[in-house]
Chain A
Amino acid sequence: MPIMTPGAVAYPGTSLTFKTGGWRTARPVHRWVPAPCHAGCPAGEDPCGYVGLVAEGDIKGAWERLVAINPLPAVTGRVCDHPCEGSCHRGAYDSPIAIHNVERWLGDEAARAAWAYPLPLLPAEAKTVAVVGAGPAGLSCAYHLRRLGIRAMVIDRLPLAGGTLRTALPSYRLPREVLDREVERLMATVNFLPHTSLGRDVTLEELTREYAAVFLAPGRQQPRAWDVDGRVPRDLHAALPLLEAWVAFGKVPEIHSAVIVGGGNSAIDMARVLARTGAKVHLVTHDVRPAPGVPRDLAMKAAPRDIRQAEEEGVTVHVEHAIHHLILRGEKVVGVELVRVKKLARDEGHYEIVPFEGTETVLHVDQVIPAVGQTVAPEGMESLLAARGFFAVDGTGRVPGHDALFAGGDARAGAWGTVSGAVGDGRRAALAIEAHLSGKAQEPARDAEPITFSGLNLNYFEHAARAEEIVLPPDRRLALEEIAAGLSGPEVALEAVRCLSCGTCMACDNCWTVCPDQAVLKMHAPAGMRYLTDYDYCKGCGLCAHECPVGFIAMVDETS
């Protein structure tokens, strides 16, 4: 080797001895930020998380992540009005991810593959909690108690579990076998006492004495009283009993034409059921159609998709109308007088429904069917119901003044009135019950602000069309057959790849690619931490944070 003078040569890679990290005034940190779909889900699901796992091809992992929050994905994937998709940032970019169809497919896939819920062994000294009502709230609570190592005893007045899902949801939206499959799997993990009514077969005092805690989720079973100026037709049917009769026996009394009063899910389902029997159906509601930007108080409670499908099936929807007057012959309805109305805001969240003179029209119908909501059937818990007939509970579901008594689902005041809302109530109550039984203080709910649309770097994404499921054309929608086909496995995989992964690292390698200092190091771990910042060399330029497509990296000031 020729001898070189010392000033002419340096050895490869020796600059590593010079730690440029000392130049930094801000450091990049990886931090998860809730996605808007998570913030928008009443059940508390994190679609961004399980959709991401689907995109990675880990289907079972995705399902396990999903059922860690919601044990009934095949059900909610079909019947939920998916507010997650309304808040999906992809909606502002092109069109939202079809989250409900990913969820539905995962639920169906789990049933096909007969996956078992990932549950811990029940300790011998496990306590038992009573759950009143086997609807979505009760089932969710029982399941989450079981996940937390607590035995659940579910009590219901009916022979089968499922609650409203079983009694009032028509099978064209939720096929029986889907419901049976998912409920059966869940019921295998908890104890069930059917044919047991609170107040008749067992009292609340007995339950509180015998069980470590009680969760009340009786739902709303009692139709609200309804009249027009004090007048009620003699042959009045409320919507819920009619719906229940249809779901149980496939029959309703013969009706030629009807006007249904209300804008919620029961009203829409009732209208669609009657349309299937060949009746001419009108639906009258004070509210406007739900749309982005319309306040929740002003919009119809039914999902936009269901309203649209009802109209396709021949239902005439009269928004912002009310029944002004019943036209009776004797005590039988022969028509109604409609009037245009508007819900006008009065002081502090109160609305007044104002009818407008001169806008009256007449509809000739032979039935008026109110679907104006239900209240809690109070038997056995009269002392607990607050004013207006619902449970007033705190944020965790606890009934004030009772340590070990919780309530949720449709029976609580301010309920979401949806299946996913009930599932969320059940989970939150189970967490509170577990905290209560183990004597720990419950950690306050973490509700960090979801990531904003401008927090993403959209330069790194491409537009792609949303996968649309096949829906039966209106003239082929039969009485019972499910009308939406869902998506196939390959379609779901493609749809999952569209997810912008808001606030969650998707291992795209961009930070690793753009760092001028090789300070971002790639890990071998397939999941969890994918990249590490070597702060010895990171100069804090901020390129990785600015260019992160999903907003997972934040610059934290280090000067103070």
Chain B
Amino acid sequence: MTPPVDFQLLRAQQPRFQGLDPGHRACQGCGQALAARLTLEAAGPDILLANATGCLEVFTTAWPESAWRVPYLHSVFANAAAVAAGMEAALKAQGKDVKVIALAGDGGTFDIGFQALSGMLERGHDVLFVCYDNEAYMNTGVQRSGSTPHAAATTTSPAGVARMGKRHLKKDILAIIAAHHIPYGATASVAYPADLRKKVRRALQVDGPSFLQVHSPCPLGWGHGSELSIEVARLAVQTGLFPLIELERGALIGAMPIRQIHPVTAYLKLQSRFRHLFADDPRAREELAHLQALADHNIETYGLHAESPDGLDSEGADTVRRGGLRSA
């Protein structure tokens, strides 16, 4: 018999900052919960949060409980960036050097929250805006958003006789952010936790607005097993569909090279939102070719193909080591 473990004590002794406690109501295998946890680990305790309405807000704050251990303010759907900007201005007025982070989903970033975000960036507030990109309005029942990839089926872009899932393309939000000439903007993925944490630290170091788009699989909305969230996120990077890049003042300063480029079908076939693309249908074959072309375009545009193996490329960046030391 092993002696009983005092879990409360052990939890208090974990050697990392825990900003998001368990007991939250995220679904099994939630990519967003993982992304938020990793973000807070890197941002660590001296921060304030403003969170737009969305899954993250709903599953962490079932009143009278809160899963957060840092000051947290729930904004409405549209104005997380505006609220964060106000918090930052107030802290500055008080002479306090505390970072403010705005959290929002892709709906609260690409669509509904966009004008507040653009204004915050334009005014130059010292705020990190983190977008947890799960590529649809998951909280309200998987409606398509400006971030939903081309040809993905959602409840408002179903696959059927008329068309093969979403007709339009995924909005290139980072290009729009780049046009604001902010000091730092980047994409990250839950499949590369060390890379994600490194980018959070980098973003918090800069003076002025910064932006992070984190690819966060949604097992329910994307239609894959809860154990596959990281596998799916990793393949999104390794196919070139979700490039991991960094921008400074709008210019590309870094991209994670892909050592072994996988065909997009490796990513798509794990998710039922793309199931219709594997039907025996000429339109399906055309859409598959279209998605492969989009990935090829990303690889070419950002120069993602690794010329030689590198410790920080798509195969090296997630390497684990005995005893728990990851690179970065």
Residues of A within 8 A of B18 (CB): 518
Rounded to whole angstroms, the CA-CA distance of A545 and B20 in the bound complex is: 22
How many angstroms from the CA of A23 to the CA of B228 in the assembled complex? 18
Say if the beta carbon of B15 comes within 8 Å of chain A: yes
**Are B33 and A517 touching (Cβ within 8 A)?**
yes
Query: Which chain B residues lie closer than 8 Å to A524 at the CB level?
Result: 13
Size of chain A's interface in residues, with CB distance under 8 A? Answer: 56
A549 with B320: in contact, given A15-B65, A532-B5 (CB under 8 Å)? yes
B326 within 8 A of A: yes
Cross-interface CB contact of B66 among A15, A55, A510, A522, cutoff 8 Å:
A15
**How far does the alpha carbon of A518 sit from the alpha carbon of B69 in the complex, in Å?**
13
Cα A513 to Cα B325 with chains together (Å): 11
Chain A-chain B contacts (Cβ-Cβ < 8 Å), number: 155
Contacting B at CB under 8 A, from A512-560, are: 512-519, 521-524, 529, 532, 534, 536-537, 539-543, 545-547, 549, 555
Give every chain A residue within 8 A of B139 (Cβ-Cβ): none
Smallest CB-CB separation from B28: which chain A residue? A541
Q: How far is the CB of A60 from chain B (nearest CB, A)?
A: 18
A516 & B68 in contact (Cβ 8 Å cutoff) = no
With a cutoff of 8 Å between Cβ atoms, the chain B residues found around residue A462 in the complex are 311, 315-316, 319
Known: A514-B34, A521-B11, A543-B230. A507 touches B323 (CB 8 A): yes
Query: Does any Cβ of B come within 8 Å of A52's Cβ?
Result: yes
A11 at the interface (CB under 8 A from B): yes
Interface string of B1-36 (1 = CB under 8 A from A): 010010100110111001011111111111101100
Which residue from B24, B309, B323, B326 sits with its C-beta under 8 Å from A15? B24
Instruction: Please indicate the chain A residues that have their CB under 8 angstroms from the CB of B322 in the complex.
Output: 52, 55-56, 497, 501, 506-508
A249 contacts the other chain (CB 8 A): no
Q: A18-B62, A537-B22, A542-B225 are in contact. Are A12 and B69 (CB under 8 A)?
A: yes
Give B38's nearest chain A residue, CB to CB: A513
Judge whether B226 is part of the interface by a CB distance below 8 angstroms: yes
Q: Within 8 Å of chain B (Cβ to Cβ): is A14? A: yes
With A516-B34, A542-B225 already in contact, the answer to whether A508 and B23 are too (CB < 8 A) is no
A356 at the interface (CB under 8 A from B): no
CA distance A10 to B67 in the complex (A): 9
CB distance from B239 to the nearest CB of A (A): 14
* Distance of A507 Cα from B70 Cα, bound (Å): 29
Q: Is B64 an interface residue (CB 8 A)?
A: yes
Residue B229, interface by CB 8 Å: yes
Contact of A20 with B22 at beta-carbon distance under 8 Å, contacts A13-B69, A543-B229 already known: yes
Given the complex of chains A and B, what is the CA–CA distance between A541 and B225 in angstroms?
8
Number of contacting residues on B, CB 8 A?
58
Closest Cβ of chain A to B91, distance in Å, is: 18
Which residue of B33, B63, B234, B311 contacts A516 across the interface (Cβ within 8 Å)? B33
Query: How many angstroms between the C-alpha atoms of A367 and B281 in the bound complex?
Result: 76
Any chain A CB within 8 A of the CB of B321?
Answer: yes
Whether A228 sits at the interface, judged by CB under 8 Å, is no
Asked if B118 lies at the interface with its beta carbon under 8 angstroms from chain A, I say no
Q: Which of B49-66 contact A (CB under 8 A)?
A: 60-66
- 1/0 per position for B236-255, CB-CB distance to A under 8 A? 00000000000000000000
Q: Tell me which of A16, A513, A541 contacts B193 (CB under 8 A).
A: A513
The residue on A at minimum CB distance from B193 is A513
CB neighbors of A among B204-256 (8 A): 219, 225-231, 234
Contact partner of A16 (CB less than 8 A), chosen from B10, B23, B62, B227, is B23
- Of all chain A residues, which has the CB nearest B327? A462
A19 interfacial contact with B, CB 8 Å: yes
B275 touches A (CB below 8 Å): no
Q: When chains A and B are docked, how far (Å) is the Cα of A6 from the Cα of B64?
A: 9
A459 CB within 8 Å of chain B: yes
Over the window 275-288 of chain B, the binary record of Cβ atoms lying under 8 Å from chain A Cβ atoms (1 yes, 0 no) is 00000000000000
Q: Which residues of B contact A514 (CB under 8 A)?
A: 34, 193, 230
Complex formed: what's the CA distance from A541 to B231 in Å? 13
CA distance A460 to B319 in the complex (A): 4
Q: A545 to B27, alpha carbons, bound, how many Å?
A: 17
**Complex CA–CA separation, A518 to B320 (angstroms):** 19
> B24: which A residues are within 8 A, CB to CB?
15, 20, 517
A518 and B24 alpha carbons, distance in the complex (Å): 10
A523 to B11, CA, bound (A): 10
Interface string of A139-164 (1 = CB under 8 A from B): 00000000000000000000000000
CA distance A288 to B228 in the complex (A): 46
B318 beta carbon closer than 8 Å to chain A: yes
Determine whether A93 belongs to the interface, using a CB cutoff of 8 Å to chain B. no
| Chain B positions within 8 Å of A20 at CB level | 22-25
The 8 Å CB contact of B63, one of A10, A17, A55, A510, is: A10
Shortest Cβ gap from A555 to chain B (Å): 8
Query: Is the CB of B324 closer than 8 A to any CB of chain A?
Result: yes
A463 on interface, CB distance cutoff 8 Å? yes
Q: Any chain B CB within 8 A of the CB of A330?
A: no
The chain B residues found within 8 Å of chain A, CB to CB, are: 2, 5, 7, 10-11, 13-15, 18, 20-31, 33-34, 37-38, 60-70, 193, 219, 225-231, 234, 309, 311, 315-316, 318-324, 326
| Chain A residues within CB distance 8 Å of chain B | 6-7, 10-20, 23, 52, 55-56, 459-463, 497, 501, 506-510, 512-519, 521-524, 529, 532, 534, 536-537, 539-543, 545-547, 549, 555
**A14-B65, A516-B33, A541-B29 provided; 16 other pairs, C-beta below 8 A?**
A10-B65, A12-B69, A13-B21, A17-B23, A459-B318, A460-B319, A460-B320, A463-B309, A501-B322, A509-B326, A518-B14, A518-B18, A521-B14, A542-B28, A542-B29, A547-B231
Cross-chain pairs A/B with CB under 8 angstroms, 25 sampled: A13-B66, A13-B68, A13-B69, A15-B24, A15-B60, A18-B65, A459-B315, A460-B319, A462-B316, A508-B320, A508-B321, A510-B320, A516-B26, A516-B37, A518-B11, A518-B14, A519-B22, A521-B10, A534-B7, A539-B27, A541-B28, A541-B229, A543-B227, A547-B230, A547-B231
